[in-house]
Copies of this chain bind each other. A is one copy, B any other.
C-alpha cells in the first residue's frame, strides 16, 4: 500500500489555488476549481480530485485547456440554452452550465443546458451535487473519446460517457443527496490500470482480451484498451444514445469526432435541472418519499454481514463524514507532485 499523507481541506485548497493562479486562471476560476478538486478528494474520489490535478495542470500547459475562455450563448428557447465552452476549463464550464440549468428550472420547472467544445469535467458528480444543493433533481452527462467497442464489434468506437443523477434528501439538508455517478463502462480505465499494477483480478469482467472475450484479467485489458460496457449491450446502447442526444442539443462533436482529435477535447455535455419547489412543492411529501425508499433499502438483508445495503451516494456520504472527523488522506507521492507543480 502506498504511503499516505494526512491533509486538511484548507491545505488542499491552498495548494490547488496557488498552482491554478500561477497557471493563469482568474482568482474566481481558481477559487472555484480549488474548492471542487478539494471536495472530490474529501468525498473519496481521489481519481478525479488530487490524483488528477497534475494531469489537469499539464492539459493547461500543453494548450488543451484555455485559461481565459468565456462560455458563449449560441441559442435559447424556453427552458433550454446552448452554450459553447471555447475549450475552457471543464470544471468552470460545467459549473456555469449547471448554474444556468438551475436558473432556467426556477422559471420553467425543467432547465436544460447543452454545452459544446468543453474539456473534461473531472468528477461528474460535482454538478449533480450542485443541482441537488440548489433543491433540484440534477441529471447530466458527458461524452468522451472512444473507449469501448460497441456491442458486437471488435473496434473501440463508443465513449464511456459518464451519467450523473442526483436527488436531494428532502428536509434532511445535512445529508448529502442521493448520487449516481457512473460511466457506461463497467470499470474506468484508471480502475483497470490500478488492478493491473497491483496484479489483481477485477471483481467482474471489465474488458476484452486479445481474442475479443470478456475478461477479469486487468493486464490483458490494459493491452487491448477495450473496456466492457456495463450491462453488455445495454451500456453500449445507452452510451450511443447519450452521445447522440448531446451532439444534437449542443450542435457539438460526437465521440467519433472527438476520437479523431490529437487529444481528448471539444467534449459535449448536457445539464438538466428540475426545481423541486416548483414541480413537487409539497416538501413533507418529498421527504417521506425519499426517506421511505432509503429505509426500505437500508433494511435489506445484506449479502455480506455488517455490510449494509446502501443507496447511491450513501457510501460517499459516509466517506465525507469520516474525512470530517479523521482528516483527508492522500497519496504522499502525489501530494509531493502537487506541491511541486
Contacts and interface: CB of A to CB of B under 8 A. Distances in A.
B289 A157 contact: no
A107 interface: yes
Contact of A300 (B149, B231, B274): B149
Q: Main SS of chain A's interface residues?
A: mixed
B249 A274 contact: yes
A307 B244 contact: no
A334 interface: no
A78 B77 contact: no
Give the oligomeric copy count: 2
Given A79-B78, A110-B79, A285 B238 contact: no
A82 B281 CA distance: 12
A341 interface: no
Task: Categorize the interface residue count of chain A.
Answer: 35 or more
Interface string A274-298: 1010111110011001101100110
A165 interface: yes
Interface in A215-236: 229-232, 234-235
A248 B232 contact: no
A9 interface: no
A131 to B, nearest CB: 12
Interface of A: 75, 77-80, 82, 107-110, 112, 114, 137, 149-155, 157-158, 165, 167, 178, 180, 182, 186, 204, 212, 229-232, 234-235, 237-238, 240-241, 243-245, 247-249, 251, 254, 256-257, 272, 274, 276, 278-282, 285-286, 289-290, 292-293, 296-297, 300-304, 307-312
